[in-house]
Structure 1
Amino acid sequence: MSSNRSESIRENSHGAPASRPKSAEFKLGDFAIDEYRRMRIVVIGAGFSGITAGIRFRQKMQNIDLIIYEKNVGIGGTWHSNKYPGLACDIPSHSYQFTFTNKTDWSAFYAPGGEIRQYLEGVVDTYKLMPYIKLEHQLMHARYDEPSGKWHLRIRRPVNDVNAQFEEFEDTADFLFTGVGGLARWSWPAIEGLKDFQGRTFHSADFDVGEQTWQDAVKNWGDKKVGVIGVGSSAIQIVPALHDKVAKVVNYVRGKTWLAAPFAGTKIAELISRDPNVENYVFTETDREAFKDPVYYKQFRHELEADLNSAHPSTLRGSEMQEVARVAFRESMLKKLAKKPWIADHLIPDFAVACRRLTPGPGYLEALCEDNVDFVTTHIKRVTRTGIETVDGKHEELDVIICATGYDTTWQFEFPMLGRGGASLQGRWRPHPETYLTICVDGFPNWFMSLGPNAGVGSGSLLAIIERQVLYAVEAAKKMQRERLKSIEVKGEAVRDFDEYLEHYFPKTVFSEKCRSWYKMGQEEGRVTGLYPGSCLHAIRVLEHPRWEDYTYELLDPGVQNRFYWLGEGQTYAEKTNSGDRAWYLNDEELDIPPVPEA
C-alpha cells in the first residue's frame, strides 16, 4: 500500500501497518480520564420511555444537564392522553411495569388506565424526576447543527392559559432522546358529514371530558344512543364499558379480529380459573396480602412474564402454537357469541391469529349479545345531523358518536426533524421508515429513540424492550462523554443491512398475511413497520451489547486528530484532586467474584 499523503498508513517489513507519523503539534489533554465534559441531555416525552430515560441517564452518567419536555399537562404519555370508557391494560398488569419496581397492589389482572397513570406518577415521585420535567412544553422543530454537533430545538410553551397564548424558545442538546412512540398522532376518520353531527362527537384518543373521569362523564347518558365506530383495541374496551350505562350502543365494524383466550396451563389460565365467570380477574384482599411477600411475589411475576415470553412461536406461520391458538380462540369466541351466532360470521377472521394486534377484550363479545347493543357491518355512507346512515340506506338516530378509529401510523412525526445537510426525517422515512435496530438513523447523529419504527412486539413485554432501548442510548451518550466525541452516527450500510434483515424475516410470520393493521401502516398488505423482527427476548439480547463498529465518530476538540486524546493527562480525577475513593475497584458493587467450581 502506498500514498503520497504524509498521514498514510504504510506496511512494515512484516506486512503489518506502520504507525502514523508522530505529530509535533499533539499535546496531552489537561483533564483526568474520568473528568467528564458536561453534556446537555434532552428527552422528548414523559411516558414510560421518557420516565425510564430520566431515571437511567441520572443514574449512570455524571456531569449532565437533563431536561424532559412533555407536551401534555401531566406525565404518563398515552396513559395521560387516553381517558376513554373502559381504558385498561391489555397485557397482565404485573408485566406492565418496570423491571426495577414492584407494584403489588394492582386491582385487576388487566388494570384500568387511571391506575397505570397513578403508577407512573408514583415512579416519578420515587425517583424525584419532576424537577427535570417541563410539562406543556412541545417540541416544534429539531435541527442538527454540524459545526457544533448539537441539536437545535424549538420548544413551545403556554404563557397565558386563559387566552391560549404561547411562546417559543430555543434550546440545544448534545444528545437527543425521543420517546414519542408511533401511536400518538390521531386524526378524525374521513367520513362525510362527521363535522355536521349535532350530537356529541369524540375520538377515543381525545375523550375530552375535562377534569372528570369517564365514569362521571357518562352518568347522565342513561337515555343516550351511542355509536361506536371501529373494532380495534379501543372499541373493544369502550363497548362493554358503556352498554349498561346507556340506552343503546351501535358498534359499526368494518373488519374482523381475533379476541384472545388464555392458553391452558399458563399462569394466566390459573388465575382466571379461580373465577371462571369473569375474564378480568379482580385480585382479592387475600391475593394482595400474599403479594406483600417478596419471595412469593418475585416468583409470581417471574412465572407470569415467562408465560408471556413463551408465545412467540404463535407468530410464526404454520406453527403448532399458531394452530392451537386459532382453534382455541375460535371456540372461545363462538361460545361467547352463542346468543347472536351470526356475529361470528362477520367477526372471526380468516387470517392468522395475531396478524393484527391481539387483545383479550374482556366482556366485549358478551356485550355484543346484549339486547341494547347492535352490531352493524354495513359500511357507513355518511354522518347526518342526527345520526349515521349506512350504504344500504338505513339510518340510526344517535346522541353520541365515538370514533375508535386508531392513529396515524405512517411514522411521520408532527415536528420537522432535520439531520445532516438539512435532510428531513419525514422525507427519509418515505415510503417507509428505515432504522438501525429500531433506535437510530444514519444522517441524524446524536439522536436515539425508543418505540420507533419496528420497535413493537407481537408477544411479550414491551416495557422490557423500552428499558433496553433506553440503556443502549445511555451507553451511546456515555461513550460520547467518555471519549470526547462531537458526534456518534450509525453507518448507512448498517441501516441497510438491518432493513434487509427485516425484509427476509417477516414473510415467515403471520404479520405478513393479508389483514389491515397498524403494524403495516394501516394497510392490508405491505411493509411491516410496527413490529420488531423477532421475539421480545431476542430484542433484549440484541440491544444488550452495542456494536460500536457500526458507527462513525467525530472528535469534539478542535484540531485534535489523535483518537486517544481522551486519555487526558494520565490519571484519574481522584488522584488529580487528592480526594475521593482511590480503591473503588474493591467496592462491593464493583467486585465480580467468580464462583469456585465444586469439582
Structure 2
Amino acid sequence: MTAGHSDTPVVVDVAIVGAGFAGIGMATQLARRARESFVVLERADGVGGTWRDNTYPGIACDIPAHLYSFSFRPPSDWATLYPQGADIRRYLEQTVADEGLAPHIRLGCGLDQAHWDADSDRWELTTGAGPILARVLVMAVGRLSEPHVPDIEGLESFTGTVVHTAQWRDDLLSGGERIGVVGTGASAVQVIPHLAEDAEELVVFSRTPPYVVPREDRRFSDDERAELRVPENAQAVRERMLLDADKAFGQRLGLHPDIDDIRARALGHLHRQVASPSLRAALTPDYEIGCKRILLSDDFFPTLERSDVVFESSALESVVECKARAVSGNTYDLDVLVMATGFEATRPPAASRIRGRHGRVLGDHWADGMVSFASTAVAGFPNMFVLDGPNAALGHNSAIYMIETQLDYVVGALNFLADSGSRSVEVSAAAEAAYTAEIDRLAASTVWLTGCDSWYVDPGSGRLTLLWPGTAVSFRERNGTFDPRPYLIEPRLVDEGGRTP
C-alpha cells in the first residue's frame, strides 16, 4: 500500500524499516504468529530491496536459487541454477502476496528519524506518512541500499550521462555509445558483457582486477523442476548446498590445500579464457584470493579480448567534459559513465537518523566501525534489532540463511518480552564489547585482514565489520537463540495494588 500522510500517530508493537529480504522475512514471521501488530516502512514504490533497485543488464545472484530463498516458504519453481534478478524480485513479491503482507507495508514511506523515549519505552518514528509509535524497532535496510560513488575530480562536468548500476534505467542506452565502466566487482562483471554488445567502444577502469571462477549456470530440465517443487527435495538440496558452500571457509582462513585449490581454479580460468599475455598479466591479481569477493562469470574475460573493448588497468582519476582520464594518464572520450562502484556498506547512512537512550546517535556509536551483540542488538538502543548489519554477512555462503538465523533471534526476543511482561531489553555494553572482541579475535587470521583492502573492512578502524568470520552453521550455533542473560531488562511497571498501570 502507498502511504498517505497523517498527523495521528500509528501505534504498533513492531516497526520494520525496509522491504527487502530481511524486512519481508521478518514480516512473514510476524504475520504467521499473529501475536504482534506491525508495519513495514519502505521508502521506494515497491518491495524487493537490492533486487528492486538493481535492474542493469545481466543482474543475477551468485548463490544458487534454492539456497538464496526462504527455507520456510514453499520451494519456488526456479528455471536456472542461479536466479536472475527479476526472478528474485518476483519471488519476494509473491511472498508478500501469499503471506498477506500488503496491508502492513507502507510504500513511499521513508524513515526520517527514530528516537527511543525512555518514559514510554517506545520508539518514536518520524516518517513521510506521519508519526509511528512502536515498542520494537527492526532495522532491515541492509548493506546494499545506498550507492557509493567515489570522489572523482570533475565528475560533475561530464557532458554525457553518469549512472550507478543500482540506479539503472531501461532507456539509458540506444546503441553505439562510447561507454566507460568504473569498477570490476560483482556488478561490473555481470553488466560488462551486455554493454559490450551494443557499445561503439567500451572502456573498463579497473583499480584492482578480480579473481573470477567459472559460473557454470544451467537451466533445469522439466523433470528437475518438477522434482524440486517437492518441499522435501528442495530442502535436501538446500542443506547440501549450504554445507558444500561452508566448506569454502577454509579458503578464507588461508588453509592448505583449500586456498591453493581455489587460487589454481581462478588462475586456470583466466589462462584458459584470455590468450593475450599482456591482458592476462593485467588481469592477474596481486593480492590473496578470497580477500575480495570471488566472482563467478563465464563471459567477462572473453569480453575483454574484444577489439572494441579496452581494459584500463588503473582507476578513473578525473573527468573534463567528455574526456575521462585514468591514473595511468590514458584518456578516453566517452558518452556514458557506468559506476559499478558498490555501496556505502560499512557506514550505513540510516544510522545517522536513529537515536537511542539519552539521545545517542547510532552513527556516533558506530564512529569507529559497526559493533553489536549477536550481530543483531546494539548497546544503548533498547528494543532495537538490526538485520543484515554488523558481522552478519558472509563472503562464501547465502545471506538468506544468515537473515533467517537473525529472524529466529528476534522472534525469541519478542517471545521473552511477551512472556516475561518486560517493557524493554537492552544488551549491556559489556556484552557488546566482549562480542566485538570475539569477532576481532576470529577475524585476525582470515584473508580479509591479511590479504588486501576490501569493502568488508571498516576504512577507519581497520576492523572486519561486515562479515561473520566463520561458517554459516557456526553463526546459527552462536547467534540463533535469544538469551536474556546479557541484557538489561526493564520490568513491567505495577502500581501499589500490584496492578499494571
TM score, norm. by length of structure 2? 0.92
| CA 1:151–1:259: 2 relative to 1, 3 Å | same
Q: Give the partner amino acid of 1:311.
A: A
| CA 1:141–1:70: 2 relative to 1, 3 Å | same
Q: Does residue 55 of structure 1 match 2:55?
A: no
Q: Does residue 151 of structure 1 match 2:123?
A: yes
TM-aligned CA deviation for residue 346 of structure 1 = 2.4
Residue 312 of structure 2 is matched in structure 1 by: 376
TM-aligned CA deviation for residue 286 of structure 1 = 4.4
Residue 17 of structure 2 is matched in structure 1 by: 44
TM-aligned CA deviation for residue 128 of structure 1 = 0.8
SS at match of 1:516: coil
Percent identical: 29
Residue 6 of structure 2 is matched in structure 1 by: none
**For the residues of structure 2 that align with 1:105 and 1:490, how far apart are their CA atoms?**
41
Q: Does residue 241 of structure 1 match 2:213?
A: no
Q: Does residue 114 of structure 1 match 2:86?
A: yes
Of residues 355, 378, 383 in structure 2, which corresponds to 1:418? 355
Q: Give the partner amino acid of 2:189.
A: I
Q: Give the partner amino acid of 1:58.
A: A
Could you tell me whether the CA contact under 8 Å between 1:411 and 1:453 is conserved in 2?
A: no
Residue 171 of structure 1 is matched in structure 2 by: 132
Count of aligned residue pairs for this structure pair: 490
**For the residues of structure 2 that align with 1:390 and 1:497, how far apart are their CA atoms?**
45
TM-aligned CA deviation for residue 305 of structure 1 = 2.9
Of residues 419, 424, 436 in structure 2, which corresponds to 1:499? 436
Q: Does residue 225 of structure 1 match 2:178?
A: yes
**For the residues of structure 2 that align with 1:331 and 1:106, how far apart are their CA atoms?**
30
TM-aligned CA deviation for residue 425 of structure 1 = 0.9
Cα displacement string for residues 203-229 of structure 1 (whole angstroms, at most 9, x for unaligned residues): 11211x2xxxx4x654x21x1111100
Residue 150 of structure 2 is matched in structure 1 by: 189
What pairs up with 1:185-584 in 2 under 5 angstroms?
A: 185-207=146-168, 209=169, 214=170, 217-218=172-173, 220-221=174-175, 223-261=176-214, 279-293=216-230, 296-338=233-275, 340-414=276-350, 415-521=352-458, 526-559=462-495
Q: Give the partner amino acid of 2:344.
A: D
| CA 1:301–1:379: 2 relative to 1, 3 Å | closer
| CA 1:490–1:242: 2 relative to 1, 3 Å | same
Q: Give the partner amino acid of 2:44.
A: N
Could you tell me whether the CA contact under 8 Å between 1:225 and 1:399 is conserved in 2?
A: yes
TM-aligned CA deviation for residue 537 of structure 1 = 0.5
Could you tell me whether the CA contact under 8 Å between 1:194 and 1:383 is conserved in 2?
A: yes
Residue 105 of structure 2 is matched in structure 1 by: 133
SS at match of 1:41: strand
**For the residues of structure 1 that align with 2:235 and 2:416, how far apart are their CA atoms?**
34
Q: Give the partner amino acid of 1:68.
A: V
SS at match of 2:46: coil
Cα displacement string for residues 132-163 of structure 1 (whole angstroms, at most 9, x for unaligned residues): 00001000111101111101110014xxxxxx
Aligned-CA RMSD value: 2.3
TM-aligned CA deviation for residue 393 of structure 1 = 4.1
**For the residues of structure 1 that align with 2:249 and 2:405, how far apart are their CA atoms?**
19
Could you tell me whether the CA contact under 8 Å between 1:182 and 1:453 is conserved in 2?
A: no
| CA 1:283–1:248: 2 relative to 1, 3 Å | farther
| CA 1:561–1:244: 2 relative to 1, 3 Å | farther
Could you tell me whether the CA contact under 8 Å between 1:258 and 1:353 is conserved in 2?
A: yes
TM-aligned CA deviation for residue 514 of structure 1 = 3.8
| CA 1:301–1:187: 2 relative to 1, 3 Å | closer
**For the residues of structure 2 that align with 1:430 and 1:292, how far apart are their CA atoms?**
46
SS at match of 1:190: coil
SS at match of 2:166: coil
Q: Please, which moves more after superposition, 444-453 or 383-392?
A: 383-392
SS at match of 1:142: strand
**For the residues of structure 1 that align with 2:294 and 2:330, how far apart are their CA atoms?**
32
Could you tell me whether the CA contact under 8 Å between 2:446 and 2:469 is conserved in 1?
A: no
Q: Give the partner amino acid of 1:435.
A: S
| CA 1:522–1:90: 2 relative to 1, 3 Å | farther
Q: Give the partner amino acid of 2:341.
A: T
Could you tell me whether the CA contact under 8 Å between 1:72 and 1:81 is conserved in 2?
A: no
Please tell me whether Structure 1 or Structure 2 has the larger radius of gyration of its CA atoms.
Answer: 1
Could you tell me whether the CA contact under 8 Å between 1:234 and 1:404 is conserved in 2?
A: yes
**For the residues of structure 2 that align with 1:478 and 1:217, how far apart are their CA atoms?**
49
| CA 1:284–1:385: 2 relative to 1, 3 Å | farther
TM-aligned CA deviation for residue 284 of structure 1 = 3.6
Of residues 78, 84, 90 in structure 1, which corresponds to 2:56? 84
Q: Does residue 65 of structure 1 match 2:37?
A: yes
| CA 1:497–1:297: 2 relative to 1, 3 Å | closer
TM-aligned CA deviation for residue 385 of structure 1 = 1.4
TM score, norm. by length of structure 1? 0.78
Cα displacement string for residues 520-567 of structure 1 (whole angstroms, at most 9, x for unaligned residues): 1358x92111101211000111223322111111112244799xx99x
| CA 1:314–1:245: 2 relative to 1, 3 Å | same
TM-aligned CA deviation for residue 104 of structure 1 = 4.4
Could you tell me whether the CA contact under 8 Å between 1:351 and 1:513 is conserved in 2?
A: no
SS at match of 1:234: helix
Could you tell me whether the CA contact under 8 Å between 1:226 and 1:248 is conserved in 2?
A: yes
Could you tell me whether the CA contact under 8 Å between 2:137 and 2:384 is conserved in 1?
A: yes
Q: Give the partner amino acid of 2:124.
A: H
| CA 1:226–1:302: 2 relative to 1, 3 Å | same
- Extract unaligned runs of 5+ from structure 2: 1-10
Residue 269 of structure 1 is matched in structure 2 by: none
TM-aligned CA deviation for residue 409 of structure 1 = 2.5
| CA 1:363–1:103: 2 relative to 1, 3 Å | farther
**For the residues of structure 1 that align with 2:235 and 2:384, how far apart are their CA atoms?**
36
**For the residues of structure 2 that align with 1:297 and 1:452, how far apart are their CA atoms?**
28
SS at match of 1:443: coil
**For the residues of structure 1 that align with 2:393 and 2:412, how far apart are their CA atoms?**
22
**For the residues of structure 1 that align with 2:258 and 2:211, how far apart are their CA atoms?**
15
**For the residues of structure 2 that align with 1:81 and 1:139, how far apart are their CA atoms?**
18
Residue 4 of structure 2 is matched in structure 1 by: none
| CA 1:538–1:342: 2 relative to 1, 3 Å | same
TM-aligned CA deviation for residue 349 of structure 1 = 2.0
SS at match of 1:43: strand
TM-aligned CA deviation for residue 79 of structure 1 = 0.7
SS at match of 1:452: coil
Could you tell me whether the CA contact under 8 Å between 1:555 and 1:561 is conserved in 2?
A: no
